[in-house]
Amino acid sequence: MTKILLLAEHDNNTLNEATLRAVTAAKQIGDVNILVVGHACDAVAQTASKISGVEKVLLADGVVFVHQLAEPVAALLVELAPAYDVIMSAATSIGKSALPRVAALLDVAQISEIIEVVSPDTFVRPIYAGNALQKVRASEGKKVITVRPTSFEPAPSEGDAPIETLSTNTTNEKTTFVSAALSDGDRVELVSAKTVISGGRAFGSKEQFDQLLEPLAQKLNGAIGASRAAVDAGYAPNEWQVGQTGKVVAPDLYVAIGISGAIQHLAGMKDSKTIVAINSDPDAPINQIADYVLIADLFEAVPELTDKL
């Protein structure tokens, strides 16, 4: 049976749901062990041990891992790699940083952002901003894979896997943690939100963007997203960007307001279950994939919608 080592995504306190989704993909390949790397992260390991289908949780707890920098995490994964056939993670910031280094050190080609497992050595992944799907068969003995979390359902938490504490001499002499700029902790997290309200450049200013979208997002208990044009114009911070070069989301409801729907934006949200577009342009590309389209002036439609909600 194929043995898989899956890197957990967490903040040293809470396990990210992306890991549960990656477990769903991993279980379709073989036997899953989860690696929790961090500092003072026992609670994360305990949560990971409850995920159904996980055979064992490996806990690497040390000061060198406190910020989960790519270099020490990759070094540890390479150290553990001989015992496994597949090294996996969700395609999150940590996974995208560490796993390419692992692939390079193991001298194998990484298979990035899979959305389907066909067989233990064959996978489907999007290319060309999601406009084509590529089926990849890995012929190498060791595989390094990242999983697009939005393409898989979270694994249930009904297990009771044993936790093994690792002893490692991993060091980090190449990088130093400087600082982290954290987003507002009171906001709904964009990637895991069930509802996302996104705005585009049509809002015209940061003030209009905030004044119109904030109340609507609060009424719907949703996260706020933005097109790249809105982010580039300074209306929204970079972490709100949805699209090929931003975050990929697949909420139950995605409301796109004042967004034309460039191919790069569609790549980040087209898997949403229900898509609503509010736009003054009847020929906007986003209208072609939206379930509901309202052709209207957003400066009139958004306040009215917020008021009625």
Last residue within a domain, chosen from 165, 180, 207: 165
CATH classification at residue 248: 3.40.50.1220
Answer for the pair 100, 73: CB distance below 8 angstroms, yes or no.
Answer: no
Q: How far apart are CA 302 and CA 286, in angstroms?
A: 18
pLDDT at 63: 94
In a domain, 175, yes or no: no
| 94 and 142 together in one domain | yes
| 215 and 137 together in one domain | no
pLDDT at 1: 82
| 24 and 159 together in one domain | yes
Provide, rounded to the nearest whole percent, the portion of the chain with pLDDT above 90: 87
pLDDT, tens digit, 9 for 90 and up, residues 85-112: 999 999 998 999 999 999 999 999 999 9
pLDDT at 182: 65
In a domain, 186, yes or no: no
pLDDT, tens digit, 9 for 90 and up, residues 192-230: 899 999 999 999 999 999 999 999 999 999 999 999 999
In a domain, 232, yes or no: yes
| 90 and 238 together in one domain | no
Top mean-pLDDT range of 163-167, 189-193, 244-248? 163-167
Least confident segment among 73-87, 163-177, 181-195, 284-298 = 181-195
Mean pLDDT in residue range 161-170: 94
| 45 and 152 together in one domain | yes
Number of domains within the chain = 2
Mean pLDDT in residue range 22-48: 97
- CA-based nearest residue to 228, from 266, 179, 275, 185: 266
In a domain, 184, yes or no: no
Residue 207 is encoded by which pair of tokens?
């003030």
In a domain, 180, yes or no: no
The contacts found for 65-70 with CB under 8 angstroms, 24 or more apart, are 65/37, 65/38, 65/39, 65/170, 66/12, 66/38, 66/39, 66/177, 67/177, 67/180, 68/37, 68/38, 68/94, 68/98, 69/172, 69/175, 69/177, 70/94, 70/97, 70/98, 70/101, 70/175
| 146 and 205 together in one domain | no
Within 13 Å of residue 236, how many CA atoms lie on the same side as its CB? 30
Parallel, antiparallel, or unpaired for β 54-61 and 195-199? unpaired
Largest CA distance in the chain: 61
Answer for the pair 55, 124: CB distance below 8 angstroms, yes or no.
Answer: no
pLDDT, tens digit, 9 for 90 and up, residues 149-160: 989 999 999 999
Mean pLDDT in residue range 234-257: 94
| 155 and 207 together in one domain | no
Answer for the pair 208, 233: CB distance below 8 angstroms, yes or no.
Answer: no
Residue with tokens 């705005």: 199
Q: Angle, to 10 degrees, between the axis of helix 70-80 and the axis of helix 93-106?
A: 50
In a domain, 173, yes or no: no
CATH classification at residue 147: 3.40.50.620
pLDDT band, residue 140 (cuts 50/70/90)? confident
In a domain, 218, yes or no: yes
| 50 and 103 together in one domain | yes
Answer for the pair 262, 227: CB distance below 8 angstroms, yes or no.
Answer: yes
Least confident segment among 33-37, 196-200, 269-273 = 269-273
In a domain, 38, yes or no: yes
Last residue within a domain, chosen from 143, 165, 187: 165
pLDDT at 48: 97
The contacts found for 234-237 with CB under 8 angstroms, 24 or more apart, are 234/206, 235/199, 235/201, 235/203, 235/205, 235/206, 235/209, 236/199, 236/206, 236/209, 237/183
pLDDT at 306: 96
| 269 and 124 together in one domain | no
| 21 and 131 together in one domain | yes
Least confident segment among 5-19, 184-198, 255-269 = 184-198
Q: What is the pTM of this model?
A: 0.83
Q: How far apart are CA 79 and CA 63, in angstroms?
A: 18
Which residue segment(s) compose the domain that 117 sits in?
3-165
pLDDT at 280: 95
Within 13 Å of residue 237, how many CA atoms lie on the same side as its CB? 7
| 208 and 156 together in one domain | no
Mean pLDDT in residue range 21-42: 97
| 39 and 80 together in one domain | yes
Q: How far apart are CA 298 and CA 235, in angstroms?
A: 16
